Amino acid sequence: MRHRSILCIPVFLLGTAVAVWAADPLARQVTTYRDNYGVPHIVGETEEATFFGYGYA
């Protein structure tokens, strides 16, 4: 069981790294800023970029 856990950790980390690399172009198309109350405001060039920013905020 322990060996399976040790094997799953690198696989999980590799999967999350691939997801981050795939989403990188959307990150360049969105601007997120917070007002004085800490509320995030998200402005994106496309709908996909806006939802990417929404998930990040």
Reported as a single tens digit per residue, the pLDDT across 1-57 is 566 667 777 766 666 655 555 556 767 788 999 999 999 999 998 888 888 888 877
Expressed as residue numbers, the domain containing 56 is: 25-57
The amino acid at 23: A
Q: Is 31 part of any domain? A: yes
In the chain, the number of structural domains is 1
State the pTM of this model: 0.50
Give the number of other CB atoms < 10 A from CB of residue 27: 14
Q: Is 35 strand, coil or helix?
A: coil
Q: Is 5 part of any domain? A: no
Radius of gyration of the chain (CA): 16
Reported as a single tens digit per residue, the pLDDT across 30-42 is 899 999 999 999 9
Please give the Cα distance from 40 to 47 (Å, whole number): 17
